[in-house]
Amino acid sequence: MEKIPALELKNISKKFGSKYANKGIDLKVYKGEILSILGENGSGKTTMLNMISGIYFPDEGQIYINGDAVTIASPNDAFRYRIGMIHQHFKLVDVFTATENIILGTEDEGKYDLKKYSKKVKEIADAYGFEIDPDKKIYEMSVSEKQTVEIIKVLYRGADILMLDEPTAVLTPQETRKLFDVLRRMKADGKAIIIITHKLHEVLDVSDKVAVLRKGAYIGTVNTPETNESQLTEMMVGQKVVLNIDRDDPVDPKDRLIVAHLNCFNHEGTKVLDDVTFTAKSGEILGIAGIAGSGQRELLETIAGLQPMVTGGVQYIDPATGKVEFLRDKTPQEIREMGIRLSFVPEDRLGMGLVGNMGTTDNMLLRSYLKGKGVFLQKEESRNLAEKVIRELDVVTPDAEFPVRRLSGGNVQKVLVGREIAAAPTVFMAAYPVRGLDINSSYVIYHLLNEQKKNGAAVIFVGEDLDVLLALSDRIVVIGSGTVTGIVDARTTTKEEVGLLMTKEVRKNA
Amino acid sequence: MSLVMFLQRMVIQGIPLLFGSTGEIITEKSGHLNLGIPGIMYVGAIGGVIGAFMYETGVGPENMVPALAILIPFICSVAMSLCMGLIYCFLTVTLRANQNVTGLALTTFGVGVGNFFGGSLIKLSSADVPSIALSATSNYFKTALPFADKLGAVGQVLFSYSFLAYAAIIIALVASYMLKKTRVGLHLRAVGESPATADAAGINVTRYKYVATCVGSIIAGLGGLYYIMDYACGVWSNNGFGDRGWLSVALVIFSTWKPDVAILGSMLFGALLIIQNYIPNLTMSAQELIKMTPYLVTIIVLVIVSARNKRENQPPAGLGLPYFREER
Amino acid sequence: MHKEPLFHIVKRPAIEWYKSWAIRVLAVILALILAGIVTLALTGLNPLKVYATMVDGAVGTTRRCWALAQKTAMLLCIALALTPAFRMRFWNTGAEGQVLAGGMAAAAVMLKCGDLVPNWLLFILMFLSAIVAGAIWGVIPAFFKAKWGTNETLFTLMMNYIAIQIVGFFVLEWSVPKGSGQIGIINQNSQAGWIPPLFGQAYLINIILVALITVFVYVYIRYTKHGYEIDVVGESERTARYIGIDVKKVIIRTMILSGAICGITGFLLVAGSDHTITKDTAGGNGFTAIMVCWLAKFNPVWMILTSLLICFLQKGAGEIATMFQLNLSFADIITGIIIFFIVGSEFFINYRIIWRKKEKEDRK
């Protein structure tokens, strides 16, 4: 007798605008099984889970639960089919306690009694070895505590099918191990588990089967014991990656930016940068590697003057005069007025680097609108720059006034990078500049970074793909939990070495 | 000018505001800033007037049945406030229209409806003064507890009001209990704080928003009904309701979105509305300045709350923002 | 058993401009039809006749045309004042109070200095005091918004009533004759501080000034560095910080401007048409202007049309009311209905409804 899958997707498609986020997805997961969904950023993993959990509604296709065709039009429907989802961005009400969040949306017979629920929450937590204070407010919690709440929320509802969207991205290695123990325990309970991740070693570690998505399309499913990293990588990226990125030797590298003993706290008061020290040199690309959320964003934002530094400092050495300038407590405006051409391509392109509802021309103005005397804008220069960027970087847009929000990801990034390099920067920082970009656009960006290097800028490149980091950078600074765990020569190091440094246990001085 | 009189008048002034703010709190807890509340209260008032006018002139003051005399205006008032609530919901929840614009248009519309029908009825009643007096109906509404007189000063202060006044306090207490201690309240607060979270948790966000806004509108409308039947003794005159609707909105902020605090706040606001009559040698112009104290106090509370930044006292995080599930 | 829902809603990627205007025009037509039905139900009059009366009431005579133009100019001026604030996503609901503050200041100067200084100086003093008063009324909420993020919608709303009561205070304090409860026409005999008629038209200078303000606001938001900063702050505060814009400064500066233009409106109302000050000088236009500004999508040029539309409706409906012995509030009802429809129509511009597919049902 053939086993019936707990959950099956047949030919599921979903479009956003004119673009397919998911196209023809087929998927099966059985009880007592952990299925990993593997795919690069933007391959449609989250969209797929969102359709299963009723957040989005598929445009085409059919979902089956235990063999029955079902319609999941809302999260409520999903709960009815005992599907639980743990989102990457936590869906918690900040001003509620853990218990209040956990029981949210549930119904039960009898009196509404928070004490009773707290006790039940505690029981579940104890059973799986979680540590949690049921009466703590969410806004007082750390990230991993919040995730614990999310997981207990799903367990509380007695879900049979659990979906976790990149649960390990924000966890320390120990926390990840703990999470995987919980997952195995749930699997032993006969639950079907779907986990999204793009870390291969985790996939091999925890799952029974791996399904691979690429650019919204379903590529295939393999049994974990029968596969290996290179096969999975190949399925994920298409053909074997032979990165053909040029790398010239740095010409006359000189110290340009000296970052010394930098400490920084985030809004919640947790230390996100811990005594970070490194030097960026002219004419070289300095790669920054690390697990997502290890402090990369804060590092760049601190240098750019967007976040206050608690202690430590940043020194800039003027290439023309050799004069040393201190960037501590300077706003972006002040840095610009000091004559320092520091360009920064932030991670959040439309939310920070650009204004989505403005056209290319007006976005070019962001850096230069104060130029010229008087109260009026001098648009001419920006218009020319916009035309130039569109022409030289092959930005696909109807015209320079077309809102950049409606451009595709690659074109958005070209506009942003095009603007940032236009100032002929002496320091060029880019955070995840190729995230979500297709291969062609990515190469355009690599080329532009190399060009900046050739022009003598100190390029700081925060990346997530180790292959790219190794192929493009001259040196790599590895960051783990806000501290520098190692600085390596990109020409001689190996992926394994960097990977180890990324997850290296670091001394914790609280 | 005894203290008892002062307290009684304070309560009578405060009750319409309490209705209005309780209604608005429930609405805002679902994430909808309904600036149409003044209009809704107006419509609630005129609804009562229309019902009472039809019944009173229909059967004549002598032949009125007490139960019907209360029930007919009551139902008319509730029905008309509900319609206003539905207009607001349909536009802001279903069609995701801008809440501020919709609310202000609703106030324009509501005040228009109130004054239009009020004016028409005044013409129908062909009275000499520009107002309608529905004293018979008002008398039924104002029936106080029978034993109030016998209990002396305490009885006068506590028990001399009509049933709607007690209803206001009970509704506020129930709303407070509902928000704090029940599952429905938890869900409602979640909808207002973070509709995406509530949605993901399987709460029917649209239904909660609709029900909260409509129930809120009905409650606010009762404030209008109370004003006309009790405070104004059944006398409608155009624009007589004044800025009580906006005071109700102010009271919501003053009470930091807590209906139980709003009970005390409404008494304070009520006191501020009449205190000028109790301060000796006050010029007419100085009275005008005293009338602005509720707003001034509200602003101070608003500023203090934002400066202290205590999470529990903030407006619902989703206030004023439309929710669309597939937003990307 | 479980069917696909009857329809679901998706966001439109983009819509052609003519389609979006077709939807809006359709909304107005539907609103007029509904308003006609309401009129018919309430009054039993022939709606077509009623609409004819309406047009006649609004533009039937030269005098009515001028009155309409004046009313439109005042409403437009307030909407223009709101424009920079709204583009910054600062929901200034306090125009009513800012206008009153400006009007009060102008009236005070007119009253107290009318006999002391030459007329040209009086105008300058009135104008400047109105600007300062309006700006102060606007900047107070902005300061707290910048400092602590105090909710500006509620703060500005409350400021309206403080302004109203302050006007109430002064009206009683300075009432002529004492105890009458109103200031009455200021400088009735000398006409000091009255904006004089131009080419025999009392309101022409008002209208010209508002036209100049329209151009100013249009240029300010479109072609100046300040206007650009406002747009960036409104679209994304994070981008503004990234680029080094001092967000707090922009908020405060913009609200000073917004309040100042409201103050000018107050000046125009006092010096240019009313020649007195009452609690009703702004007459709810501070609120109506919010709708006017929003309906025009914060674009000063469209705003001329939307303010004209609203004033046309109000004047027209006012005429209906007089003509058929209804009450003037009839205008508010009609205005409300039209705004409901236009506001609602935006949904069909931004979203698309996908109905359940037919073939799916056939398969079952």
Residue B88 has a pLDDT of 94
Alpha helix (H) ranges present in A171-280?
Answer: 173-188, 200-206, 229-237
Q: Which of A103-112, A478-487, C98-107 shows the lowest mean pLDDT across its residues?
A: A103-112
For B175-211, the pLDDT digits (tens) are 999 998 888 999 999 999 888 888 878 788 899 999 9
Residue A239 has a pLDDT of 54
pLDDT above 90 (res A114): no
Average pLDDT over residues A457-469: 85
Percent of chain B whose pLDDT exceeds 90: 31
* B-contacting residues in A 68-87 (Cβ below 8 Å): 74-76, 78-79, 85, 87
Q: How far is B36 from chain C (nearest CA, A)?
A: 11
- Confidence bin at A18 (pLDDT 50/70/90): low
Inter-chain Cβ pairs, chain A and chain C, closer than 8 A: 77
* Cβ within 8 Å, pair B183-A16: no
> What is the phi/psi pair of residue B188, to 5°?
-60, -45
Query: B128: which residues sit within 8 A by CB, 6+ positions away?
Result: none
Domain extent listing, chain B = 3-142+162-313
In chain C, how many domains are there?
1
Exposure string of A274-297, with b = 16+ CB inside 10 Å and e = fewer, is: bebebbbbbbbbbbbbbbeebbbb
| Chain B residues inside the 8 Å CB shell of A55 | 199-200, 325-326
Mean of pLDDT over chain A: 82
One-letter amino acid of A46: T
Q: How far is B280 from chain C (nearest CA, A)?
A: 18
Residue A507 has a pLDDT of 45
User: What's the domain range around C260?
Assistant: 72-298
C274 backbone φψ class: left, alpha, beta (φ>0; ψ -120 to 50): alpha
pLDDT above 80 (res A436): no
Inter-chain Cβ pairs, chain B and chain C, closer than 8 A: 176
The CA–CA distances, whole Å, from C84 to A167, A331, A382, C217, C286 equal 43, 25, 23, 8, 15
Residue C61 has a pLDDT of 83
Least CB–CB distance from C223: residue in A70, A353, A376: A376
pLDDT above 50 (res B292): yes
Question: Do residues B220 and B44 make contact, with C-beta atoms less than 8 angstroms apart?
Answer: yes
Tokens of residue B214, six digits = 């409509």
The CA–CA distances, whole Å, from C45 to C57, C60, C321 equal 16, 20, 12
Return the ∠ at Cα A79 (arms to A75 and A81), rounded to 5°: 120
Question: Do residues A7 and A64 make contact, with C-beta atoms less than 8 angstroms apart?
Answer: yes
Quickly tell me which residue has 């809102």 as its tokens: A403
More confident residue, B133 or C285: C285
- What is the chain C residue with the closest CA to A14? C10
User: DSSP per residue over B144-193, as a string?
Assistant: PPTTGGGGHHHHHHHH-S-HHHHHHHHHHHHHHHHHHHSHHHHHHHHHHH
Tokens of residue B306, six digits = 């934002």
Q: Is residue C311 part of a domain?
A: no
Least CB–CB distance from C244: residue in A77, A331, A376: A331
The CA distance from B148 to B154, in Å, is 9
Instruction: Report DSSP state, residue A244.
Output: -
- What is the chain C residue with the closest CA to A350? C239
- Kindly report the length of chain A: 510
Maximal CA-CA distance, chain C: 89
Alpha helix (H) ranges present in A317-408?
Answer: 332-337, 360-368, 379-392
Q: How far is B248 from chain A (nearest CA, A)?
A: 25
Average pLDDT over residues A396-425: 83
Chain A contact for C231 (CB, 8 A cutoff): yes
pLDDT above 50 (res B107): yes
* Cβ within 8 Å, pair A366-C13: no
Residue A450 burial (10 A CB sphere; 0-12, 13-18, 19+): middle
Q: Which helix (H) or strand (E) holds A275?
A: strand A271-281
Percent of chain A whose pLDDT exceeds 90: 3
Q: Is residue C22 part of a domain?
A: no
| Chain B residues inside the 8 Å CB shell of A101 | 197
For A216-242, the pLDDT digits (tens) are 788 888 888 888 777 777 777 665 455
Most confident of A168-172, A180-184, C358-362: A180-184
- Kindly report the length of chain C: 364
Average pLDDT over residues B210-214: 94
For A130-145, the pLDDT digits (tens) are 778 888 888 888 777 8
* Cβ within 8 Å, pair A92-B197: yes
The tally of CA atoms less than 13 A away on the side-chain side of residue A325 is 21
Exposure string of C10-19, with b = 16+ CB inside 10 Å and e = fewer, is: beeeeeeeee
More confident residue, B43 or C205: B43
* Cβ within 8 Å, pair C238-A375: no
Q: Is residue C225 part of a domain?
A: yes
ipTM of the complex: 0.85
User: Residue B158 CB: number of other CB atoms within 10 A?
Assistant: 14
Residue C115 burial (10 A CB sphere; 0-12, 13-18, 19+): exposed
- Confidence bin at B151 (pLDDT 50/70/90): low
Q: Is residue C16 part of a domain?
A: no
Average pLDDT over residues B26-41: 92
Residue C363 has a pLDDT of 40
Chain B contact for A93 (CB, 8 A cutoff): yes
pLDDT above 60 (res C362): no
Chains that touch C (3 or more CB pairs under 8 A): A, B
Query: C286: which residues sit within 8 A by CB, 6+ positions away?
Result: C78, C94, C95, C96, C97, C98, C99, C160, C262
pLDDT above 90 (res B256): no
- Confidence bin at A370 (pLDDT 50/70/90): confident
For B268-282, the pLDDT digits (tens) are 988 888 887 787 777
For C171-210, the pLDDT digits (tens) are 888 877 776 777 777 777 777 767 777 787 778 888 888 8
> What is the phi/psi pair of residue A120, to 5°?
-65, -40
Residue B138 burial (10 A CB sphere; 0-12, 13-18, 19+): buried
- Confidence bin at A115 (pLDDT 50/70/90): confident
pLDDT above 90 (res C327): no
- Confidence bin at C137 (pLDDT 50/70/90): very high
- Nearest CA to B41 out of B92, B71, B80, B93 is that of B80
Instruction: Tell me the domains of chain A and their CATH numbers.
Output: 7-237 (3.40.50.300), 255-341+424-502 (3.40.50.300), 356-423 (no CATH)
The CA distance from A449 to A442, in Å, is 11
Residue A240 has a pLDDT of 44
More confident residue, A170 or A120: A120
More confident residue, C352 or B71: B71
Strand partners, A193: A34, A162
The CATH classification number of B3-142+162-313 equals 1.10.3470
* Cβ within 8 Å, pair C235-A358: yes
| Chain B residues inside the 8 Å CB shell of C343 | 91, 95, 97-98, 101-102, 105
| Chain C residues inside the 8 Å CB shell of A306 | 241-242
Question: Do residues C250 and C240 make contact, with C-beta atoms less than 8 angstroms apart?
Answer: yes
Q: Is residue C46 part of a domain?
A: no
Percent of chain C whose pLDDT exceeds 90: 23
Residue C141 has a pLDDT of 92
The CA distance from B158 to B11, in Å, is 9
More confident residue, B152 or C292: C292
| Chain A residues inside the 8 Å CB shell of B192 | none
Average pLDDT over residues A290-304: 83
Chains that touch A (3 or more CB pairs under 8 A): B, C
pLDDT above 50 (res A395): yes
Average pLDDT over residues B1-24: 87
Among B29, B199, B256, B313, which would you mutate to test the A interface (most chain A Cβ atoms within 10 Å of its Cβ)?
B199
* Cβ within 8 Å, pair B325-A55: yes
Residue C132 has a pLDDT of 94
pLDDT above 60 (res C316): yes
Q: Is residue C15 part of a domain?
A: no
Q: How far is A355 from chain C (nearest CA, A)?
A: 7
Strand partners, A475: A286, A489
pLDDT above 50 (res A177): yes
* Cβ within 8 Å, pair A73-C232: no
| Chain C residues inside the 8 Å CB shell of A80 | none
Q: How far is B83 from chain C (nearest CA, A)?
A: 13
| Chain C residues inside the 8 Å CB shell of B324 | 9, 11, 351
The CA distance from A386 to A401, in Å, is 9
Residue A405 has a pLDDT of 82
